[in-house]
A = this chain, B = another copy of it.
Amino acid sequence: MRFEITAQSANSRARTGELHLAHGTVVTPAFMPCASRAAVRACGAEDVAEAGVQILVSNAYHLYLQPGMEAIEACGGLHRFMDWNGPILTDSGGFQVFSLAAPKDLAEEGVIFRSPVDGQQILFTPELCMEIQNRLGSDIAMPLDECCPHPAERDYVRASLERTLRWAERCKAAHERDDRALFGIVQGGVYADLRELSATETARLGFPGYAIGGLSVGESREQMLGALRAAMSALPLDAPVHLMGVGTPLDIVDCAAEGVDLFDCVLPTRNARHGSVMTWAGPLRILNATYATDPRPLEEGCECPCCRSLSRAYLRHLFKAKESLAWRLLSLHNLRFYTDLMRRLREAIATDRLADLRSRLSAWTQRDRS
């Protein structure tokens, strides 16, 4: 893995870059759609490539539980399994273990939980987590971390981030593939000093890139930005930074201004399945009766398959009729919106016009976390 900074904003920490990975180069800042179960919800790999997506995020926890490693290895690894030839970052699944699997026990060795798929008891350790990701063959792997809930007591968060650091060290030792990158993950909740401590100690372990986890879990926007700034202040400037699970268009612009290079979020595809369409005029609710006879595309000038040839009236009809085609089409539109957003963001950084881009997104301010 190699990261080159191609432009540095004069009045913020924002920068553009090129991240060279085993399966190709990603221009940054980049948005990575979620393909947790080896598919972007409702979309095929060809669809996603056509929407301009450069890199996907998949998930060690989900794929380990189902379909399991044997299935994916029998097909030649995760890329060939899902027929996606671009880069893939895999999350360790720390967030999912703690939020979805209701862990039975959390110890120094690892975390014990029952599989929601077959009820089997599983001990998820840093070593297992690395073994899974090594076998998946992802371009970027993540260490096992504990993602604290919000709110959480300071003492709990501190003990947790220290264990996460010890787990990171074990993950680094267990990471086998030289051709693939392992990032470090910064935790620390909403406590600025703990974020700084976690970032300093994670950077001391030494990784080619860093992720900032445990944000966008219910804290306020100010708390999120404060925690992010504290973490960024202690991370090396020449390494790529991934802000996990963020976010809305406005969050992305504001966090890129803090120096973040990579983003991932379920928002474009989840919103699509809820009938919420992303446009430069703000969110468009497809079920709104206004659109029942509206022959216009979702957004003039958009190059997605919806906007090229389909009307709001047709998309509303499909969504109302609960045709799964609607989820796919609206997802492809929202993914294309993010592709366009990131392109404009990179242009704005390179020309020092972030404020202009931010004002174009003013329709999103009040619906920030919608």
Interface residue stretch chosen among A161-169, A237-245, A310-318? A310-318
Rounded to whole angstroms, the CA-CA distance of A72 and B311 in the bound complex is 10
Are B41's CB and A71's CB within 8 A? no
Q: Is A83's CB under 8 angstroms from B42's CB?
A: no
Query: Please, how many angstroms separate the alpha-carbon atoms of A295 and B80 in the complex?
Result: 10
Binds B, one of A179-187, A248-256, A325-333: A325-333
Given contacts A42-B324, A66-B321, A325-B43, contact A313 B74 (CB under 8 A): yes
Q: Is the CB of A83 within 8 A of B318?
A: no
Q: Fill in one digit per residue for A281-316: 1 if any B CB lies within 8 Å of its CB, else 0.
A: 000000000001111000000000100011101101
Q: How far is the CB of A106 from chain B (nearest CB, A)?
A: 27
| A314 CB contact (under 8 Å) in B82, B317, B325, B327 | B82
User: Interface code A44-73, partner B: CB below 8 Å = 1, 0 otherwise?
Assistant: 101000000000000000000011101110
Q: Are A41 and B292 in contact, with the CB atoms below 8 A?
A: no
Contact A66 B294 (CB under 8 A): no
Residues of B within 8 A of A44 (CB): 305, 325, 328-329
Interface pair B42/A317, CB less than 8 Å apart: no
Q: Residue of B at shortest CB range from A294?
A: B74
CB distance from A346 to the nearest CB of B (A): 30
Is B76 touching A42 in the complex (CB atoms < 8 A)?
no
Once the chains bind, are A74 and B325 in contact (CB under 8 Å)? Answer: no
Q: Indicate whether A369 reaches chain B with its CB closer than 8 angstroms.
A: no
Q: Which of B75, B294, B317 is close to A295, meaning CB atoms less than 8 Å apart? A: B75
**How distant is A334 from chain B, measured CB to nearest CB, in Å?**
15
A348: Cβ under 8 A from any B Cβ: no
1/0 per residue A28-51: CB within 8 Å of B? 000000000111011110100000
**A324 contacts across to B, CB distance below 8 A:** 41-42, 324, 327-328
Closest to A321 in B: B37
Closest to A325 in B: B39
Q: Give every chain B residue within 8 A of A280 (Cβ-Cβ).
A: none
How far is A295 from B74 in the complex, measured between Cα atoms in Å? Answer: 6
Min distance, Cβ A232 to any Cβ of chain B, angstroms: 36
A75 to B72 alpha-carbon distance, docked (Å) = 45
Tell me the nearest residue of chain B to A81, going by C-beta. B314
Which chain B positions have C-beta within 8 A of A344? none
Docked Cα-Cα span, A287 to B15, in Å, equals 47
Taking the complex as formed, is A320 at the interface, i.e. its CB lies under 8 A from any CB of chain B?
A: yes
A323 within 8 A of B: yes
A325 x B42 contact (CB < 8 A): yes
Residue numbers in B under 8 Å from A313 (CB-CB):
67, 71-72, 74-75, 81
Q: Please give the distance in Å from A66's CB to the nearest CB on chain B.
A: 6
Interface members, chain A 232-276 (any B CB < 8 Å)? none
B-chain residues with CB within 8 Å of residue A42 when the two chains form the complex: 323-325
- Interchain Cβ contacts under 8 Å between A and B, 5 examples: A44-B328, A66-B320, A74-B313, A75-B311, A81-B313
